[in-house]
Structure 1
Amino acid sequence: MRSILPVAALLALAACSPQPSDKKAEAPPLVAAPPVAALKPPKADIPAGDYVLDKHHATLVFRVSHLGFSNYTAAFANFDAKLRFDQNNAAVSALEATIDPKSLTLPAPPEGFVEELTGPHWLNTATYPSITFHSTKVEVTGPDTGKVTGDLTLHGVTKPVVLDVTYNGGYAGHPMDPHARVGFSAKGTFKRSDFGIAYGVPAPGTTMGVSDEVQVQIEAEFTGPPLVAAPPAAS
């Protein structure tokens, strides 16, 4: 914001200056707003270390095609994650996540539908009470983007899955939130049949059923090391 103040002051002075009577006053030039990135806290101040999921600011949503007519959208309400984070050295960053499949949340489910999806034909939560993800590789693809490869264990089967991740920024903390905070958006796809959940997959060449492909979207904030207090002023 400091960079725009001198410009604003010059515009104010120009508006107050008398205009020549024989020349029509011209409108002051438009001043472009600072880019959104300039309004974010500086990333250079964000400490490396261990971060935990802020469950109040996290969502895990998945979509499957229903008959080819719509993308049926559902979510898991209970999940947790731990992040080892170093924005200057992505290779040493790592993520571990655990999902409670019994926390499946559906939009206006018909009677018994939740029990069906958590039952033997689908998630089979009685036999497989958790879903886990452990990262195995983190790659940088751009200034704020990357790919996180990890082992997804679902329905008792472990397979590699790749997430496309956007780093949304963060801060080192402030008095009202005295811990470092970082935020991410992520998305990925996998085939549920690879994990032994093939019930209802459409026959080849048709869409009559529920798609094999599952789309996952994640929004997550993590809190980390405590804010370092400013050093006392020299006496």
Structure 2
Amino acid sequence: MRHSLFVLALVLTACGAPTAPPEAPEPAVEHTAPSGAYSLDKAHSSLIVRLSHMGYSQFTARFETWDADLNLDVTSPENSSINVTIDPRSIASDNPPAGFIDVMRGAEFLNAAAFGEINFRSTSIERTGANTAQITGELTLHGITHPVTLEARFNGGYAGMQLDPNARIGLSAHGTFNRSDFGMAYGIPPEGTNLGVSDAVEVIIETEFSGPAWSAPPVTPSP
């Protein structure tokens, strides 16, 4: 019996173990959204940043005042473009201790008094799948500009309807950059320790955009 099992193992090794069939590529999201100029639907959008706090948790904050304009080309998405502006004074977090928000706005971090706007302007868009793309752009933060790449996903959209007479689309995006690249090194842990707040900043974006006006289909009179 042992000899038979040994022979079977040799046969399986020689032939190769069974492999799972390759996954089918993700189908493109069906949508009716047209090309054109889109503006941020602020009520359905969020901009979150996360940093490791001493390795124990991901400290989470958000910007409450920001805007974005999108020029969408549905036929050739790589020809689309986006521009984002953020008010650094609008940073907020859950249950902040007294004075904590002022510290984040202050000279050691965002220095919002000296640099009143954060800006991201796309420079290239590369499709990575039926519904995904890498959006590379110039991030200007703390008065310094560096390239940053976001992984983006198109969630679908429509041309409009009676209750929402403009086109609408949804996008999700995330990425990471080092704050020290932008002159914000305060509180970064000494090498070999976690005693501080990480250099790496994770950005998480959920958005909806409102686009061109909807043209209601003509009503066909009843015979």
Query: Structure 1 length normalisation: TM-score?
Result: 0.80
Gaps of 5+ in 1: 1-36
Separation of aligned partners in 2, 1:113 and 1:231 = 57
Aligned amino acid, residue 141 of structure 1: T
Aligned match for 1:62, one of 35, 49, 53: 49
Q: What's the secondary structure of 2:134's corresponding residue?
A: strand
Aligned amino acid, residue 91 of structure 1: E
Q: Map Cα deviations across residues 21-79 of structure 1 (whole Å, 9 max, x no partner).
A: xxxxxxxxxxxxxxxx89x8x42x21100000000000000100001111000100000
Aligned amino acid, residue 187 of structure 1: H
Q: How does 1:69-218 map to 2 (within 5 A)?
A: 69-218=56-205
Report deviation, 1:181.
0.2
Large movers: runs of 4+ above 6 Å: none
Question: Are positions 1:222 and 2:217 aligned together?
Answer: no
Separation of aligned partners in 2, 1:159 and 1:95 = 16
Gaps of 5+ in 2: 1-26
Separation of aligned partners in 2, 1:89 and 1:228 = 23
Query: Structure 2 length normalisation: TM-score?
Result: 0.85
Separation of aligned partners in 2, 1:134 and 1:101 = 16
Report deviation, 1:146.
0.5
Q: Map Cα deviations across residues 61-99 of structure 1 (whole Å, 9 max, x no partner).
A: 010000111100010000000000022211210000000
Q: What's the secondary structure of 1:142's corresponding residue?
A: coil
Separation of aligned partners in 2, 1:113 and 1:105 = 9
Give the number of aligned pairs: 196
Separation of aligned partners in 2, 1:71 and 1:47 = 38
Separation of aligned partners in 1, 2:65 and 2:87 = 6
Q: What's the secondary structure of 2:41's corresponding residue?
A: strand
